């Protein structure tokens, strides 16, 4: 009888703990855009999306149209003109944008 009570108490406690855990990222839509010297890529909700140019990125953002969209933009050795134009496209969506620029040196 004592062991039955302990097992039931353990099950109740584990059920309560499991019910109280929440995923902080639940319900958030994420888009990661990476611009490098010669390519542009995007990942939407952990799924790669084919983006060949800035116009296709613009149409992708229009298709998503989520007010809770979080955009992470990473620029690696990109030309300043391309960097600026991608940022302008991302500003159109009026969403939260995290931006990083990296300049990696190439050694010969």
State the pLDDT confidence band at 104, using cuts at 50, 70 and 90. Answer: low
How many whole angstroms separate alpha carbon 48 and alpha carbon 39? 14
Domains delineated in the chain: 24-102 (3.30.420.40)
Q: What pLDDT is attached to residue 26?
A: 54
Percent of the chain residues topping a pLDDT of 90: 2
Average pLDDT of the chain, as a whole number? 79
Ranges of H-type helices in 26-79: 54-64
- In this predicted model, what pLDDT tens digit does every residue of 29-64 receive, in sequence order? 888 988 888 888 899 888 898 888 888 888 888 888
State the pLDDT confidence band at 106, using cuts at 50, 70 and 90. Answer: low
Sequence length of the chain is 108
- Which helix (H) or strand (E) segment holds residue 100: the answer is strand 96-102
Contact at 8 Å (CB) between 74 and 43? no
């Amino acid at each position: 009888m004592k062991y039955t009570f302990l097992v039931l108490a353990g099950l109740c406690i584990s059920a309560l703990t499991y019910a109280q855990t929440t995923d902080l990222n639940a319900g958030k839509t994420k888009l990661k855009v990476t611009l490098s010297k010669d390519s542009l890529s995007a990942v939407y909700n952990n799924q790669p999306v084919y983006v060949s140019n800035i116009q296709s990125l613009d149409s992708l953002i229009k298709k998503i149209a989520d007010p809770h969209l979080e955009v992470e933009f990473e620029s690696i050795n990109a030309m300043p003109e391309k960097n600026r134009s991608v940022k302008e496209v991302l500003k159109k969506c009026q969403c939260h944008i995290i931006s990083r620029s990296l300049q990696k040196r190439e050694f010969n």
